[in-house]
Amino acid sequence: MSANAPSYLIVRGSFPPPAPETTVAVVGLGRVGLPLALAFAAKGLRVLGVERDPKSRAAIAEQRMPFHEPGCDELLRARALEVVADVSELTDERSPDYVVITVGTPLQAHIEVDLTQIANVTRSLSRVLRKGQTIILRSTVAARTTDYVAKVLARETGLVAGRDFHLAFCPERIVEGKALVELETLPQVIGADDDASRIKASSLFSVFPVDQLQTSLVGGELIKLFNNVTRYVSFALSNQFALIADQFGESVHPLIAMANHGYPRDPIAKPGFAAGACLRKDFGMVSENHSTTDMLVAAWRVNEYMPNFVAKKLAEEAGGLHQKTVAVLGYTFKRDTDDARDSLTPKLIRYIEREVPKELRIVEPNLGDTLTLEDGSTAKNWNLTEALRDADAVVVAMNHSAFREVRRFILGSEAIVAPGAWVADLWNVCDTGALFFCARPRVVGGP
């Protein structure tokens, strides 16, 4: 082995793909499960979907995507996908060879992993599990969660993983907006504790022309967590830099740009709201087992503080937000996505509302005319120019492509915000280099 050779096994093309008549059930047709189900179907496998949400089932039955993911609309229109409401319906002619579980694994309020959805699926699965099936957990989970699934199935059925059925952990590592592309390009981790389970899982994922990285069950679980937590901590570091720069009266954007310019090591990320259904919670899946504060909890505190910081700093610069019109641009957690799960913008809005503004205008170009807020209430989704017109304060909370024209509506001769309006521009969308700036300084003696 050469000095630069990896100390782990990379497998590609070593396992024949499953036969075309192979049936795969994908449990949870959300942003991870549905693209995977459609990709499997496009490879010629028989695919069954399991989805509890009736609205999602209805949309899929009408061959409409319940959410936006490039390329998936065409695949869904090309072939109908049979969907049932519960795992317990996977019997008789629907009994699959593979069951791939992609349900959500949220974090509870006190840094505790919520296993409710995994537990519900496992209990349902115990009623239909048969010998020889392969169960693959694909959800992001805390270490030893797959072992928990094996123990529940053993208790409920008497069947033992690795002997009576196959069990693997094969994490997804895709990003929204690139699901189909990354299924075909990202290496696939295959976590299993016995050879038969490893071979079965490797065979299924060999339909995608990617490297397979073979490890244990807990190794696979940790790899996914390491990927997500690394990004989360990286964003926390850049957000901490933003706070430090502000403390010294500097704007972080040009400082980071200069720090990265021509420097060949470890580029610094841009600051901004670090959130979403993965990054905002996955640190807790590691930190849950620690009794003391660790680096990951510290990163969580920094990232969670950013909405508070932005609201307070904007109010300070604008001379208060009470009885003023505030525009917030961006509600989803990520650029050009329609996914608002675990976005930090709702938290920002709650802090702004503590200032009791006259009007709060939310702009989210990737969602419909009416926004459903976290408390179940609704709010108008404003047109960009309508929201900015005569606004006293603006927060550019997300760098959506649709906001590329924001600069001309805030700065220069075409500006439509109120004179003296203050702007918080987390992503430097306006290209001023300033995290906070006055858009149209008032003229002395003027209006």
Query: For residue range 377-387, what is the model confidence (pLDDT) as tens digits?
Result: 899 999 999 99
| CATH code matching the domain that covers 13-220, chosen among 2.40.70.10, 3.30.70.140, 3.40.50.720, 3.30.390.50 | 3.40.50.720
- Whether residue 65 contacts residue 72, with contact meaning beta carbons closer than 8 Å, is answered with yes
Write the Ramachandran bin of 327: left for phi over 0, alpha for psi from -120 to 50, otherwise beta.
beta
13-220 and 231-438 in the same fold: yes
Compute the average pLDDT of residues 363-377. 92
Please state at what angle helix 217-247 crosses helix 252-260, rounded to 10 degrees: 120
Compute the average pLDDT of residues 75-104. 94
What is the pLDDT, as a whole number, of residue 128? 96
pLDDT at residue 64 greater than cutoff 80: yes
pLDDT at residue 396 greater than cutoff 60: yes
The domains of the chain are located at 13-220, 231-438
Tens digits of per-residue pLDDT, 272-326?
Answer: 998 877 788 888 888 888 878 889 999 999 999 999 999 999 999 999 999 999 9
- Whether residue 160 contacts residue 190, with contact meaning beta carbons closer than 8 Å, is answered with no
Q: Which amino acid is residue 363, in one-letter code?
A: V
Compute the average pLDDT of residues 36-49. 96
Of 39, 35, 32, the C-alpha closest to 17 is 39
The architecture that CATH gives domain 231-438 is 3-Layer(aba) Sandwich (3.40)
pLDDT at residue 3 greater than cutoff 60: no
Q: Rounded distance, CA 426 to CA 430, Å?
A: 10
pTM: 0.87
What is the pLDDT, as a whole number, of residue 444? 47
Q: Rounded distance, CA 140 to CA 170, Å?
A: 10
Would you place residue 7 in the very low, low, confident or very high pLDDT band (cuts 50, 70, 90)?
Answer: low
